[in-house]
């Protein structure tokens, strides 16, 4: 009963955040923007009804996984509505689709132990999805990781990483000695190779982070992690020597200011926006997001910091890691090794993605074009994250 009261309180705070944010945007427009209030109502209904359904069918699992992810989605939808109303409307459709997938996974998916036997299927799906961008992708902002089918564009690697996690979980659950690591190491190397060829360095970093985390949980051997890090550094150095786009990213990271009007324009504008916002921001609707490139996806964190302040930016990062904590907590209660490893893999996927994109927009690491989980615009990202969270939610329900 106490937990239900705490969940209800957080749910009400989420509704309050949603209405306050959209009401603020509605007041700023002349005449009063009724559409913003309609958006807030639709979002609140989706979140409230979804929480009710999950709690009705499964009352024992960790509902904070859904609540924290909903808060992040609300922040993203508010900022997207402020930047581009049409984009926010498309995003709410993806949000509704993702939440629906989340609920269906929790309610309809059978016991996840049964899915540990499809290792070959996961391996094939991983290789196919990772290769699609290289073979058929169109270049967008320097990366060749988008493909178009019937007029609909998506990133195959967003779904490829889900199958990579499933493959590693189904393989590493039977770890006994070093020989058991040869095949998964080859699959990870192939995946990283495709990402380098597609110039999708962000995904390469995420896949490496996922793989190393799952390897350590499965084996508990630090020496394997050290070897992986050395191999990754060697691969990064070779990529630096072979590929001009890698050299460019490193050059911009080292000193972006001499190229502020050209090669490093994105990073410089991002840092200027963050500096302009300061701790508390210039106020929602009072900034200049039009000067920030790719503001609905890669650099939405910069928009948040400019208008709502670095403190709010820090809150977004903190929410991501609270979500990571709740997901990793579910792994502790998992009934079998496969469920534990797949939970760890999906949890580290969210954490790595947050670290990589936030580190890139503040120039702490070389910039890589990926989305901020649940906040940035993107159907592929939204669906893959909610699919991963749905699986984790299912495991949290089974483990109690």
* 377 Cβ contact partners less than 8 Å away, ≥ 6 residues apart: 76, 80, 87, 88, 90, 91, 296, 297, 300, 371
Q: How far apart are CA 356 and CA 253, in angstroms?
A: 13
CA distance 306 to 121: 45
What's the pLDDT at 140? 62
Q: What percent of the chain has pLDDT over 70?
A: 95
Helices (H), the chain: 2-28, 34-57, 64-83, 85-108, 119-136, 156-172, 182-197, 201-219, 222-242, 244-254, 265-277, 300-308, 310-332, 337-361, 379-398
Confidence grade of residue 262 (pLDDT, cut at 50, 70, 90)? confident
Q: Does a structural domain hold residue 104?
A: no
* Structure confidence at residue 142 (pLDDT): 58
Q: Phi and psi (nearest 5°) for 154?
A: -155, 165
pLDDT for position 93: 94
pLDDT at 86: 92
pLDDT for the residue 154:
74
Kindly list the distances between the CA atom of residue 130 and the CA atoms of 14, 83, 171, 293, 346, in Å, as whole numbers in the listed order.
36, 32, 19, 27, 17
The total of other beta-carbon atoms located within 10 Å of residue 284's CB is 18
Q: Give a yes or no: residue 79 inside a domain.
A: no
* Position with higher pLDDT, 133 vs 395: 395
Of the two residues 164 and 259, the one the predictor is more confident about is 164
Report in angstroms the alpha-carbon separations of 237 from 230, 246, 333.
11, 9, 40
State the pLDDT confidence band at 317, using cuts at 50, 70 and 90.
very high
Q: How high is the pLDDT of residue 106?
A: 86
Residues 171, 119 contacting (CB under 8 angstroms): yes
- Per-residue pLDDT band for 151 (boundaries 50, 70, 90) equals low
- Characterise 285 by phi-psi region: left (phi > 0), alpha (psi -120 to 50), beta (else): left
User: Is position 36 within any domain?
Assistant: no
Q: Which residue has the tokens 């309610």?
A: 107
Model confidence band, residue 94 (pLDDT cutoffs 50, 70, 90)? very high
Query: Does a structural domain hold residue 78?
Result: no
Q: Which residue range is the domain that position 372 belongs to? A: 112-398
Model confidence over 182-241: pLDDT tens digits? 899 999 999 888 888 887 788 888 889 999 999 999 988 898 899 889 988 888 888 888
pLDDT tens across 29-88, in order? 888 989 999 999 999 999 999 988 888 877 777 889 999 999 999 999 999 999 999 999
pLDDT of residue 178: 84
Tokens 């996984």 locate to 65
Which residues touch 84 (CB under 8 Å, ≥6 apart)?
Answer: 296
Whole-number pLDDT of residue 2:
60
Q: What is the mean pLDDT of residues 377-394?
A: 91
Q: Which is more confident, 245 or 223?
A: 223
Q: Is residue 91 part of a domain?
A: no
Note whether residue 33 is domain-resident: no
pLDDT at residue 46 in the model? 93
| Phi/psi at 286 (5° precision) | -105, 0
Give me 306's structure tokens.
């400019």
Residue 208 or residue 143, greater confidence: 208
Global pTM reads 0.92
Number of domains in the chain: 1
Q: Is residue 72 a contact partner of residue 316, using CB atoms and an 8 Å limit? A: yes
User: Residue 86 domain-assigned?
Assistant: no
Q: Among 204, 188, 209, which Cα is nearest to 240's?
A: 204
Q: Look at residue 91 in the predicted model and tell me its pLDDT.
A: 94
Which residue would you say has higher pLDDT here, 21 or 3? 21
Beta-bridge partner residues of 149 = 152
Distance CA 217, CA 232 (A): 19
The mean pLDDT of the chain is 88
Q: What is the mean pLDDT of residues 284-297?
A: 89
pLDDT of residue 400: 55
Token pair for 385: 């994250």
């Amino acid at each position: 009963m106490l937990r239900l009261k705490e969940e209800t309180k957080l749910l009400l705070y989420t509704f309050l955040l949603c209405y306050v944010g959209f009401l603020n945007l509605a007041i700023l427009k002349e005449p009063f923007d009724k559409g913003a209030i309609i958006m807030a109502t639709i979002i609140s209904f989706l979140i409230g009804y979804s929480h009710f359904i999950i709690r009705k069918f499964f009352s024992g699992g960790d509902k904070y996984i859904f609540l924290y992810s909903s808060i992040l989605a609300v922040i993203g939808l508010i900022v997207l509505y402020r930047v581009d109303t049409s984009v926010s409307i498309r995003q709410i459709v993806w949000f509704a689709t993702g939440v629906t997938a989340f609920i269906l996974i929790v309610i309809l998916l059978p016991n996840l132990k049964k899915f540990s036997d499809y290792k070959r299927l996961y391996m094939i799906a991983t290789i196919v999805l990772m290769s699609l961008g290289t073979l058929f992708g169109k270049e967008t902002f320097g990366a060749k990781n988008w493909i178009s089918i019937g007029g609909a564009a998506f990133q195959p690697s967003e779904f490829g990483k889900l199958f990579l996690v499933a493959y590693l979980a189904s393989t590493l659950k039977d770890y006994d000695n070093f020989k058991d690591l040869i095949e998964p190491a080859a699959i990870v190397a192939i995946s990283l190779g495709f990402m380098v060829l597609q110039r999708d360095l962000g995904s390469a970093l995420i896949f490496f982070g996922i793989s190393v985390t799952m390897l350590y949980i499965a084996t508990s051997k630090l020496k394997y992690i050290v070897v992986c890090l050395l191999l990754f550094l060697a691969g990064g150095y070779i990529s630096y020597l072979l590929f001009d786009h890698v050299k460019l990213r490193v050059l911009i990271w080292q000193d972006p200011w001499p190229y502020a009007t050209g090669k490093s324009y994105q990073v410089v504008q991002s840092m200027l926006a963050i500096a302009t916002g300061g701790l508390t921001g210039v106020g929602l609707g009072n900034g200049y997001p039009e000067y920030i490139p790719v503001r609905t996806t890669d650099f939405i964190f910069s928009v948040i910091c400019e208008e709502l302040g670095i403190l709010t930016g820090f809150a977004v990062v903190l929410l991501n890691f609270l979500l990571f904590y709740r997901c990793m907590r579910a792994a502790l209660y998992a009934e079998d090794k496969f469920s534990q490893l797949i939970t760890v893999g999906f949890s580290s996927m969210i954490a790595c993605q947050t670290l990589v994109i936030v580190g890139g927009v503040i120039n702490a690491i070389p910039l890589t074009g990926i989305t901020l989980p649940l906040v940035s615009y993107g159907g592929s990202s939204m669906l893959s994250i909610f699919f991963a969270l749905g699986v984790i939610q299912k495991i949290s329900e089974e483990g109690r």
